Chain A
């Protein structure tokens, strides 16, 4: 086992945030510690995409 630092940029989808983040982290390993450390929200519009910056450490 080793611990892997991660930096992810996720597109926010409708619904609760936590399951979205955990699903994205599990593609890289078993989440150990994580947090949303920035939110990038463009000007409002029909195609506006909110991006979440997630920093984490996962077990691989």
Chain B
């Protein structure tokens, strides 16, 4: 990578350097494609940067979660809009989280979720409520795209938005959605996922639901699927184990939303502490999944793209797209690069060979 093409990270050396971490949902990433199994990498990057902005797919481990004031929990479409300078993030002390249930959820399963929410109120002190149920079942369907990536469909998007609007009108400043997902306990795809070799088939539909609500209502949103309990799998992969601990996937969503930054559209006057794309010093993404909106927006702005070796279904890498990136062989190395940028150390000085400046003089003369 030519360091001359890097935008200098904003702020003084050593100050927190807001960094985006993107792990696209439903593409089968070896690290980050399961039940919140990118959380250790996120914690490391938060320590290296002092300020990490990432999305629920990274942070949600069903019953497991980690709350770190340096990590900003931002739904994927809002993160894309932040990168495109369409909105800024405003840290909050806490939210009033509205709870939105799909009418397709059975009574007993809904009760399980309400008890999780009550547990989060009693044990963690979260502010949860009002509660709304959609006026018709949402009709969630799972599907894979041509590439094998998880997408998913939503039969009744207007019913989702009506319920979200009711919650926002009743004072909710963030929304946790629980939709009934189809049970398919005998499917080969589910077995592969639980044993650590498949795509999270639910992830695409989850992203569609939370993207739609966030875009239309302008408040932080995240989704938990409602599913019947699965039979014991003695071969369960540790990366999928977080989803086997309880009856719901809701606790992590409520904890994440509790302090998710408010979404401030561009054009609204900035307040002290607002985070905009101008403050972002780097974006970290899987090296073969660089074709998403946030990465392309950052690359167009000259924000360093740290491309981490993290195999997945896709082969959309820097060479294919013509992007200049800082390669990293692991998230540990990516954290080192983030720390270098934060401290004002040129990443090229950390690699060998280090080309002589004399090699570039001829190019400059020719360009002149």
Task: Give the B-binding residues of A (Cβ under 8 A).
Answer: 1-3, 5, 7, 16-18, 32-39, 41, 52-53, 55, 57, 59
Q: Which of A33, A39, A53, A55 contacts B211 (CB 8 A)?
A: A33
A-B contact count, CB below 8 Å?
78
Note all chain A residues with C-beta closer than 8 A to B291.
Answer: 17, 35-37, 39, 52
Query: Assuming the A-B contacts A32-B211, A32-B212, A38-B314, are A55 and B147 also in contact, with contact meaning beta carbons closer than 8 angstroms in the complex?
Result: yes
> Quick one: given A32-B208, A33-B208, A33-B211, are A53 and B147 in contact (CB under 8 Å)?
yes
Q: A12 → chain B, closest Cβ, in Å? A: 9
* Complex: chain B residue closest to A17, CB-CB: B296
Q: Is B228 an interface residue (CB 8 A)?
A: no
- Given A16-B300, A37-B314, 10 more pairs with CB closer than 8 A: A1-B158, A5-B145, A18-B293, A18-B296, A18-B300, A32-B208, A33-B76, A37-B149, A39-B291, A53-B147
In contact, B146 and A53 (Cβ under 8 angstroms): yes
**CA–CA, A33 to B81, complex, Å?**
12
Distance to closest chain A CB from B85 (angstroms): 12
B146 touches A37 (CB 8 A): yes
Interface flag for B195 (CB, 8 Å) = no
Which residue from chain B places its CB closest to the CB of A32 in the assembled complex?
B211
- Chain B residues 152-189 with CB under 8 Å of chain A are 153-154, 157-158, 161
Tell me the bound Cα distance from A32 to B146 in angstroms: 18
Could you say which of A16, A17, A18, A34 has the most chain B C-beta atoms within 10 Å of its C-beta? A18
For B154, the chain A residues whose CB sits under 8 A away are 3
Q: List 16 A-B contacts (CB under 8 A).
A: A3-B154, A3-B157, A5-B153, A18-B293, A18-B296, A18-B297, A33-B76, A35-B149, A35-B292, A35-B293, A37-B146, A38-B315, A39-B315, A39-B321, A53-B146, A55-B146
